[in-house]
Amino acid sequence: MTDAPTLPLDGQLCFSIYSASLAIQRVYKPMLDGLGVTYTQYLVLSALWEKDGLTIGAIGERLALEPSTITPAVKRLEAAGFLTRRRSSIDERLVEVHLTQKGASLHPKTGCLTDALLRHSGFDIPGMIALNKLVQTLRQGMREATGGQAEPAKGDVAD
C-alpha cells in the first residue's frame, strides 16, 4: 500500500463504469417497461436467446449473478408467459429454463435498446465495439484476480 491520496470519484474507473451502467439502465427502463420486463429479466432473456434450456445456475454463471437473484426474475418471467421451467430429461435434479413463443418473439423488439445506447453514447458502432472489447478485457482481468468469481456481494443487484 502507498500513502497516495484517494482519487476523486470521477478519476476512479470503477465509479465511472458503475455510474455508466446505472445511466444505461435508466435509458433502457422506459423501453423495458414497454416490453414488460425489468433489466434483470432482460439479462435472463438475453442469456436464453443465446442458448435456450439453461439451468438457473448456468444463467447465473453467464450473467455473473447469484442464483438467489436469478430465481425471482425467472419466476416473474414464467408468470408473465415469457418462459417455462421443467426438469431435465437427462438429470431430473436439474431444472431447465426454456423460452416460450412469447419470450422468443420479444428478442427482435429489443433492438431499440442498442439504438438508444448508440444514439445517447456519442459513439459510432466501431467505437462502441472497441469500448466493449476494452471493458471485456478489464472484466476478465478482474475475474482472474478473484479466482474466477465475478459475482457481486449479496444484495448488490435486485430485480
Q: What is the CATH number of the domain that holds 120?
A: 1.10.10.10
> How far from chain centre, in Å, is Cα 11?
25
Residue 20 lies in a domain: no
In-domain check, residue 115: yes
Please return the burial class of 26, using the count of CB atoms within 10 Å of its CB with bins 0-12, 13-18 and 19+.
exposed
Predicted TM-score (pTM) of the model is: 0.86
User: What pLDDT digit, counting tens, does each position of 26-62 carry?
Assistant: 999 999 999 999 999 999 999 999 999 999 999 999 9
Does the pLDDT at position 103 exceed 90? yes
In a domain, residue 1? The reply is no
Task: Please report, as a single letter, which amino acid is at residue 156.
Answer: D
- Average pLDDT of the chain, as a whole number: 91
Is residue 3 assigned to a domain?
Answer: no
Q: Strands of 95-99's sheet, edge to edge?
A: 54-55, 95-99, 83-87
15 in any annotated domain: no
pLDDT of residue 152: 47
> What pLDDT does residue 158 have?
40
Q: For the ranges 39-43, 81-85, 152-156, which has the lowest average pLDDT?
A: 152-156
Domain that holds residue 41: 29-145
Q: Residue 7 domain-assigned? A: no
Alpha-carbon distance of 38 to 29, in angstroms, equals 7
User: 13, 44, 18: which is closest to 107 by C-alpha?
Assistant: 44
pLDDT above 90 covers what percent of the chain?
80
Whether residue 101 is contained in a domain is answered as yes
Q: How far apart are the first and last CA of the chain?
A: 37
Q: What is the pLDDT of residue 60?
A: 93
Is residue 5, in this structure, part of any structural domain at all? no
Q: Mean pLDDT, to the nearest integer, of 57-79?
A: 94
Helix (H, G, I), strand (E, B) or coil at 95: strand
Residue ranges in 36-110 assigned as alpha helix (H):
39-50, 56-63, 67-79, 101-106
Quote the number of domains for the chain.
1
What's the pLDDT at 89?
A: 85
